[in-house]
Amino acid sequence: GEVHYYEFVLAEKNFTKLCNTTSKLVVNGSTPGPVIRVHKGDTVYVNVHNQGYYGVTIHWHGVKQPRNPWSDGPEYITQCPIEPGSNFTYEVIFSTEEGTLWWHAHSDWTRAYVHGAIVILPAIGTTYPFPKPDDEDIIILGSLYSGNLKANVDYDLTYGADLPHSIGYTINGEPGDLCPCSKETTYRRVVDHGKTYLLRLVNSVVAADMFFAIAEHNLTIVGMDANYIKPITTSYIMISPGQTMDILLTANQTLGHYYIAARQSWSTIVEITDFDHVNATAIIEYRGNYTIPLSPSFPSTLPTYKDLKAAIRFSNLFRSLASKDHPVNVPLNITTRMYVTLSFSLIDCQNSTCTTLGGGELLATSANNISWSNPVPTDILQAYYRNISGVYTTDFPDQPLYYYNFTADDLPDDIAITDIGSKVKVLNYNEVVEVVFQGANLMSASGTHPMHLHGHSFYVVGSGFGNYNNETDPKTFNLVDPVEVNTFGVPKNGWLAIRFVANNPGVWFWHCHIDRHMTWGMAAVFIVKNGGTAETSIRKPPPH
């Protein structure tokens, strides 16, 4: 592959959105930031200069980075933050990925504005598994916050329940002309009748699954998380934070203007103010001679907020291509099984090192009753590689601490009490792993949890509602053509079963991609050990 170089300069800049001017930390003066464009198999060096006023790291979401956890990015997992006034060069190694991914800050919620698309074209001399589109475009769904995001997050982490909230959503950085003060800046895309466009859709929203549709046009999804899938033709999409999709749009309607629209699908406990029903919009404009309508038509197929049925129906549609050129290798002989509850929880501050302003309990999230806490000021990778003790422990449990009816109503609060710590799960090289994530309704706060794994992609072999049953549910698994992704939603009050081979030595974060859940502790780490040869071991650390 080829080698490409990028310079990213992180700095604060004023932006006026929804009639308010606030300073945001962004890359190279814009949000979304620069597009990284490569062919499959290329390598990219990105020199990140931090001219902001707090430490930040960047993650290359969905890029597996074989044997190269040094450049993966999550703060305190694989590196310490890039401090203001300093820089860090990431080496981003593209291996099997093809399609659309994205990069984003991996420090608190900074990714709200620090993100951009990654376009991975087929390797030179190869082509898409579908007719070549005439042109392409990038569509990034985003969120807007009032005031200063960093202050919001610090506030959120201190006060627990008192939530900062998103004040709106964006398409390519713009709320669109249904929102106040947004008419001039609405994102517009001109299309030619009869042509087909490849839309590269990214959900960079901080805390919500999103519905997405284009008025009077069907969408054909051909890829997800930089893997090709069996084409799905649909009139609407549900996309979780972190996910990416490749979509074919054929401009085959009457010449005119059509809204592209996105709205919140679901979000746990974030019953945000007036913006629940407000839509982020952009406009498709056909080229040609016609009377421009007073307003574009709006997609009638866009499901309404909290239409959980529409969300679930959609997420069950995905299948891998499973063809000769794009084979599926679902691992069958599982060597490590994990059953992991995901829940809202309480940290008892009498027994832990947390502080609250009020009572003795801190609202948190957890996985198997452990609320992940970053091992500030070291990172897990350094500690592992250099054998520094006292930074993390290796006792992340394979099973829930308590068994109860996970999805029942009115569960008692005392089973919500959770430990806090940096507990990792160690896997041998080539370990064959099945994880069943179980959504729990503790504190009556169930929701969807888009679970994301670094360093690997995984097959989604099953999902369902209620409590996972390890006798009957495995019989329903799809071992023939399950979709291979890096992020997938655990249904509200349900479970999700995934499988992967731990064939990438390193230190890999996994977490819910709703940032509130992640920063409150719904996260943990896999350490994948070296395989015994140089080619199966972590590469040497980059020079300092």
Site residues, ligand C2O (CB under 6 A): 59, 61, 74, 104, 106, 242, 452, 454, 509, 511, 513
User: Among 295, 266, 291, which residue's Cα sits nearest to residue 281?
Assistant: 295
Binding partner at 249 among ligand C2O, Cu ion, none, C-beta below 5 to 8 Å by kind: none
Query: Is the Cβ of residue 79 or residue 243 nearer to Cu ion in the bound state?
Result: 243
Query: Is the Cβ of residue 105 or residue 219 nearer to ligand C2O in the bound state?
Result: 105
Binding partner at 512 among Cu ion, ligand C2O, none, C-beta below 5 to 8 Å by kind: Cu ion
Q: Does residue 517 interact with Cu ion by CB under 5 A?
A: yes
CB of 61 to ligand C2O, least distance (A): 4
Pairing mode of beta strands 484-485, 506-512: unpaired
Query: Is the Cβ of residue 283 or residue 440 nearer to Cu ion in the bound state?
Result: 440
Query: Is the Cβ of residue 70 or residue 510 nearer to Cu ion in the bound state?
Result: 510
User: Among 117, 258, 144, which residue's Cα sits nearest to residue 198?
Assistant: 117
CB of 104 to ligand C2O, least distance (A): 6
CB of 270 to Cu ion, least distance (A): 11
By CB under 5 A, the residues from 237 to 276 that bind Cu ion are none
Binding to Cu ion by CB under 5 A, coded x per residue (else -) over 425-454, reads ------------------------x-----
Binding partner at 242 among ligand C2O, Cu ion, none, C-beta below 5 to 8 Å by kind: ligand C2O
Q: Do residues 404 and 411 lie in contact, with contact meaning Cβ atoms separated by under 8 Å? A: yes
- Show the CA angle centred on residue 208, arms to residues 220 and 523, nearest 5°: 110
Binding partner at 499 among ligand C2O, Cu ion, none, C-beta below 5 to 8 Å by kind: none
Stretch that binds Cu ion, among 53-61, 272-280, 311-319, 506-514 (CB under 5 A): 506-514
Other CB atoms closer than 10 Å to residue 111's CB: what's the count?
27
CB of 62 to ligand C2O, least distance (A): 8
Binding partner at 516 among ligand C2O, Cu ion, none, C-beta below 5 to 8 Å by kind: none
Binding to Cu ion by CB under 5 A, coded x per residue (else -) over 93-132, reads ----------------------------------------
At 120, which helix (H) or strand (E)? strand 115-121
Query: Is the Cβ of residue 242 or residue 303 nearer to ligand C2O in the bound state?
Result: 242
Query: Is the Cβ of residue 68 or residue 267 nearer to Cu ion in the bound state?
Result: 267
CB of 514 to Cu ion, least distance (A): 4
Binding partner at 106 among Cu ion, ligand C2O, none, C-beta below 5 to 8 Å by kind: ligand C2O
Task: Determine the 3-state secondary structure of 310 from DSSP.
Answer: helix
Distance between first and last Cα of the chain? 26
CB of 486 to ligand C2O, least distance (A): 8
Q: Do residues 12 and 52 lie in contact, with contact meaning Cβ atoms separated by under 8 Å? A: yes
Task: Dump the DSSP string for 88-99.
Answer: EEEEEE--S--E
Binding partner at 514 among ligand C2O, Cu ion, none, C-beta below 5 to 8 Å by kind: Cu ion
Other CB atoms closer than 10 Å to residue 272's CB: what's the count?
18
Side by side, the strands of the sheet bearing 115-121 are: 36-39, 115-121, 99-105, 58-61
User: Among 305, 242, 236, which residue's Cα sits nearest to residue 276?
Assistant: 305
Say if residue 299 is preceded by a cis peptide, omega within 30 of 0. no
Cα 289 from Cα 102, distance rounded (Å) = 37
Binding partner at 449 among ligand C2O, Cu ion, none, C-beta below 5 to 8 Å by kind: Cu ion
Query: Is the Cβ of residue 77 or residue 363 nearer to ligand C2O in the bound state?
Result: 77
CB of 182 to ligand C2O, least distance (A): 27
CB of 512 to Cu ion, least distance (A): 3
Cα 1 from Cα 212, distance rounded (Å) = 35
Query: Is the Cβ of residue 179 or residue 518 nearer to Cu ion in the bound state?
Result: 518
**CA Rg, the chain, in Å?**
22
Query: Is the Cβ of residue 44 or residue 63 nearer to ligand C2O in the bound state?
Result: 63
CB of 486 to Cu ion, least distance (A): 16
Binding partner at 74 among ligand C2O, Cu ion, none, C-beta below 5 to 8 Å by kind: ligand C2O
Which pair of tokens denotes residue 299? 């997609």
Helix, strand and coil percent figures for the chain, each rounded to 5: 10, 40, 50
Per the DSSP assignment, residues forming a β-bridge with 419 are: 370
User: Among 392, 528, 493, 512, which residue's Cα sits nearest to residue 453?
Assistant: 512
Binding partner at 511 among Cu ion, ligand C2O, none, C-beta below 5 to 8 Å by kind: ligand C2O
Binding partner at 39 among ligand C2O, Cu ion, none, C-beta below 5 to 8 Å by kind: none
Cα 450 from Cα 460, distance rounded (Å) = 12
- Show the CA angle centred on residue 113, arms to residues 135 and 85, nearest 5°: 120
Other CB atoms closer than 10 Å to residue 406's CB: what's the count?
23
Query: Is the Cβ of residue 17 or residue 61 nearer to ligand C2O in the bound state?
Result: 61
Q: Which amino acid is at 411?
A: L
C-alpha separations of 411 from 104, 160, 331, 342 in Å? 36, 20, 36, 14
At 249, which helix (H) or strand (E)? strand 244-250
Binding partner at 517 among Cu ion, ligand C2O, none, C-beta below 5 to 8 Å by kind: Cu ion
Closest residue (Cβ) to ligand C2O? 61
Query: Is the Cβ of residue 68 or residue 486 nearer to Cu ion in the bound state?
Result: 486
How would you label 285-306 residue by residue, b for 16+ Cβ within 10 Å and e otherwise?
ebeeeeeeeeebebbebbbebe
Query: Is the Cβ of residue 115 or residue 517 nearer to Cu ion in the bound state?
Result: 517
* Binding residues for Cu ion (CB under 5 A): 449, 512, 514, 517
